[in-house]
Amino acid sequence: MSATKTIAVPEKPALEGLELKWQARWEADGTYRFDRTRSRADIYSIDTPPPTVSGSLHVGHVFSYTHTDVIARFQRMRGKAVFYPMGWDDNGLPTERRVQNFYGVRCDPSLPYDPAFHPPEKPAKDPISISRPNFIELCERLTKEDEKAFERLWRYLGLSVDWSMTYATIDKRAQRISQIGFLHSLERGIAYQLEAPTLWDVDFRTAVAQAELEDRERDAAYHRLRFDRPGSGAVEIETTRPELLPACVALVAHPADDRYKPLFGHYVLTPLFRAKVPVLAHELADPEKGSGIAMICTFGDITDVTWWRELSLPVRAIIQPNGTLKPITWGQQGWESEDSAAAQRSYDELAGQSVTKARARIVEMLREDGSLIGEPRPIKHNVKFFEKGDRPLEIVTSRQWFIKTMEFRSALVERGRQLKWHPEYMRTRYENWVNGLNGDWCISRQRFFGVPFPVWYRLDKDGQRDYSQPIVPDEARLPIDPSTDVPDGFTAAQRDKPCGFGGDVDVMDTWATSSLTPQISARWREDDDLFPRVFPMDLRPQAHDIIRTWLFSTVLRSHFEHDSLPWMHTAISGFVTDPDRKKMSKSKGNAVTPFALLEEHGSDGVRYWAAGGRPGADTVFDPGQMRVGRRLAIKLLNASKFVLAKPEPVGRITEVADRGMLTRLAEVVKAATESFAEYDYTPALERSESFFWFFCDDYLELIKARRYGDHGAAGAASANSALLLALDAMLRLFAPFLPFVTEEVWSWWKDGSVHRAEWPAAGELLEPIGGEDRRAAEALLEGCRVLGEVRKKKSEEKKPLRTPVVSAIIRAPRHNLDLLDLVWRDVAASGAFQAAPRMEESSTFEGVYELGEPETRA
RNA sequence: GGGCGGUUAGCUCAGCGGUAGAGCACCGGCUUUACACGCCGGCUGUCACAGGUUCGAUCCCUGUACCGCCCACCA
């Protein structure tokens, strides 16, 4: 504990300005600096979520980052050296999109770098095309500014981050570690490259991963189409995507479906295009759906991919990366038709069109042709979208990098079971996700602002790339950019020349970097002293929406790379919801600017509201709770002022009320410590808070007169000593939640920071009174009960509280009367009893109080 | 379709085998030498519904309904 210094209490304590005052002091004093000389057992390390800097922070961030900070502060006070870095997620699509809009530019990788380029003051109407290096410069420039704004907010909120340890997911270290991680995966055979049907966003023109999908309900329609059977009759199928008819390669029905059994192995002709396609059997076909027989196209959805693979079908791909239908010459290899000329005529109407336009056109043609049976039947159904995208995903065949996940699913579930989840039930989300994986993790993106794949390919004499044996750099060279760096043994002049080399043009999925945040912040393969001190880490805090992405991928990478979990605990925050239970978000227009909130309610007030959200629980945005928190902080100022106003004399704690109060506080300390240790910070706050209000409203009122010396020096000394002990402990109990006000009060009478002080222990409160005093605690409550009765009486008679009680009869069981006797002098003083009451033994509780006239004051 | 949470006072939530709790809101009072950014007091509930276990259920079990979320191969 810090030494007591000269007490200096401000005349009018206030919350205003505490945020700026104390964040500056903490920075100057290095209060939250990580001590890297400590051993692993004495360190508590946190894998802080790097917020996406290309958006603004919203109240949800304030909420969940407060949870982490509360835990960090508790661990620090328990004597741990807390490793609490901050990262910025500036890598990836959100930044690209923001840069495009902010500066009015588009990246065109075919353009050369222009060193003289400056973006216009205001974005032009039509986007300016700029080179990839110019584009990346703008990304870096804008994210730097965003990061500054974020840091300002975090400091104002009071996050006890060590600001000397920041990282960004696009910085050199993150690039290097991402590339090392990738090369290790390549060596281990975990990473592989494949040309295959891939989920594809036609607006961003990139592959995306399963984890980045979301379902959205869209209007669609069933179109019933007739496929002729050469020679005899026809088959009718239903489809929501008639524009994919030219890509149809087969029909499929369930093997047990008697309606279609006779057709299996036979051929039918597609309408308009007259392509001969087989009728096949597969168990995924659902007899209940549509007509019970479906057309397989390459590719309309993931089921098509499964059928195509399992039934060994050919490819007839028509969707181009930009989402339009590609030109086809009918009659050639792979595009056979019974009537190529007619097929060509029909298809020419569609080629070059977007999916939507092609659909409208083909429906007209099918109607004219007579192949459309009846009219389309409108339905609503769920369609897969890239979570950041605006148009439904397509499936496009392309060459991508993958990380194996499918064959490790059971090992990954097992890792999830080793991890301690807070709350426990969030583990189910993880297991659902792992068990539901339907393909390996696609980690390559056809974008610009990301970590490049550190590989090159040899070109043969025709200039064709040899993907079978990528050229990789030594680890010492990393990070590299294969589009500008040259592999060993080649010269720059050989780039993209026959018999020369070419660089991989893709960048990594942002999660391929984010999945390594523990390694990045712990400086893996760079600082061999630091890494083992903090890794595997203690805590991963995050929100539940990214269990399937960030949490999963981090567990995966650590499993392969270190054969361990990346951390022991994960604390999952809920969302902030608006009063209608909807998630608050910018896109829904209901988000609130966090800085304004902090200024209005004070950071401590906002933190108080946030700390009321238990791990995992969605929490309603509630300014009312922020006001309650602010009130609590103000109360702390004033109660502390009272305690510190006259802290003399001190001495032995002999009075029953004082001993009872300390006994009760010790219980609170024990309970708070236990729940905090289980990452359940909310009850710790609740218990502390309710004790504090009891302390102010009842205990202080009870002992006030004695404390002023009305009953002699010994009584005053007992009160003062108990008050000081209690205040000291309460400030520390509140310090993780209300860092500003507790530090302010601490500074009035102690050296050093409350945030470096030791977490309170029950013993420090009980030792001065010779151990727990249960009887005193009960007596204190008994005194409060009588005091409450007197207050009620005065309130009912609408008289001031200082109105004297001229006579009283108190009826209660013997036991209670004895207890009351122990604290009677304090009760009499605070209740303004003018005479001793008549105590009557009774099995029930009753108090009869006769009030006098309040003294008129001069 | 599978799963996970939830349903307690007007609102936000705690409690989780022994006669229902807090804060906010509301109503009524009070210049009380820490605080009017305050203090005191009051009002408010078939603890979603139906069964079961138990001496006793808001709490445990089964089912139902509704709300939120996650997952799924939604032609």
Which nt sits closest to A289, CA to C1'?
A: B75
Which nt sits closest to A787, CA to C1'?
A: B40
Task: Show which positions of strand B are touched by protein (CB under 7 A).
Answer: 2-5, 11-15, 22-25, 28-35, 37-42, 67-75
Per CA to C1' distance, which residue is closest to B33? A708
Find the Å distance, CA of residue A618 to C1' of nucleotide B48: 20
Find the Å distance, CA of residue A417 to C1' of nucleotide B56: 39
Which nt sits closest to A293, CA to C1'?
A: B75
Q: The complex's ipTM?
A: 0.95
Find the Å distance, CA of residue A717 to C1' of nucleotide B21: 36
Per CA to C1' distance, which residue is closest to B25? A624
Residue type, A652: R
Q: How many residues does chain A have?
A: 858
Q: Which pLDDT value is given to residue A91?
A: 86
Find the Å distance, CA of residue A261 to C1' of nucleotide B55: 66
> Which of A187, A90, A175 lies closest to A478 in space, CA to CA?
A175
Which nt sits closest to A616, CA to C1'?
A: B5
What are the angstrom distances between the C-alpha of A711 and each of A655, A705, A781, A804, A823?
11, 8, 21, 18, 13
What are the angstrom distances between the C-alpha of A206 and each of A69, A210, A427?
37, 13, 31
φ, ψ at A251 (rounded to 5°): -110, 155
Q: Angle at CA A200, nearest 5°, toward A198 and A201?
A: 170
Which nt sits closest to A609, CA to C1'?
A: B12
Q: Which residue has the tokens 């009478």?
A: A749
Beta carbons within 10 angstroms of residue A474's beta carbon: 9
Q: Which pLDDT value is given to residue A1?
A: 43
What are the angstrom distances between the C-alpha of A724 and each of A658, A659, A672?
11, 13, 20
Over residues A61-113, the pLDDT tens digits come to 999 999 999 999 999 999 999 999 999 998 888 888 889 999 999 988 778 88
Find the Å distance, CA of residue A568 to C1' of nucleotide B5: 24
> Which of A199, A206, A280 lies closest to A237 in space, CA to CA?
A280
> Which of A6, A20, A158 lies closest to A748 in space, CA to CA?
A6
Per CA to C1' distance, which residue is closest to B30? A800
Which nt sits closest to A619, CA to C1'?
A: B12
Contact A540, A45 (CB under 8 A): no
Quote the radius of gyration of chain A (alpha carbons, Å). Answer: 36
What is the C-alpha separation between A784 and A152, in angstroms, rounded? Answer: 46
Over residues A664-681, the pLDDT tens digits come to 999 999 999 999 999 999
Beta carbons within 10 angstroms of residue A654's beta carbon: 14
Per CA to C1' distance, which residue is closest to B38? A635
pTM of the model: 0.93
Residue type, A823: V
Find the Å distance, CA of residue A634 to C1' of nucleotide B53: 51
> Which of A218, A208, A237, A245 lies closest to A325 in space, CA to CA?
A245
Q: Which residue has the tokens 């056979």?
A: A336
Strand partners, A87: A167
Residues A116-123: contacts with CB within 8 Å, 24+ apart? none
Per CA to C1' distance, which residue is closest to B72? A436
The band of A591, judged by pLDDT with boundaries at 50, 70 and 90, is low
Find the Å distance, CA of residue A367 to C1' of nucleotide B53: 66
Find the Å distance, CA of residue A675 to C1' of nucleotide B57: 27
Over residues A759-808, the pLDDT tens digits come to 999 999 999 999 999 999 999 999 999 999 999 999 989 999 989 999 99
Q: Which residue has the tokens 């609170």?
A: A668
Strands in A35-147 per DSSP E: 43-45, 81-83, 86-88, 105-107, 128-130
Over residues A396-429, the pLDDT tens digits come to 999 999 999 999 999 999 999 999 999 999 999 9
**CA of residue A676 relative to chain centroid, distance:** 20
Find the Å distance, CA of residue A339 to C1' of nucleotide B58: 74
Find the Å distance, CA of residue A401 to C1' of nucleotide B3: 32
Which nt sits closest to A581, CA to C1'?
A: B68
CA dihedral A176, A180, A182, A186 (to 10 degrees): 150
What mean pLDDT is predicted for residues A222-240?
A: 91
Find the Å distance, CA of residue A64 to C1' of nucleotide B24: 23
Over residues A641-654, the pLDDT tens digits come to 999 998 889 999 99
Q: Which residue has the tokens 């076909």?
A: A285
What mean pLDDT is predicted for residues A607-615?
A: 95
Q: Which residue has the tokens 């760096």?
A: A485
Over residues A152-211, the pLDDT tens digits come to 999 999 999 999 999 999 899 999 999 999 999 999 999 999 998 999 999 999 999 988
Per CA to C1' distance, which residue is closest to B6? A617
> Which of A573, A594, A575, A593 lies closest to A584 in space, CA to CA?
A575
Strand partners, A196: A398
**Contacts with A571 (C-beta within 8 Å, 6 or more apart), sequence order:** A67, A68, A71, A422, A539, A540, A541, A542, A615, A679
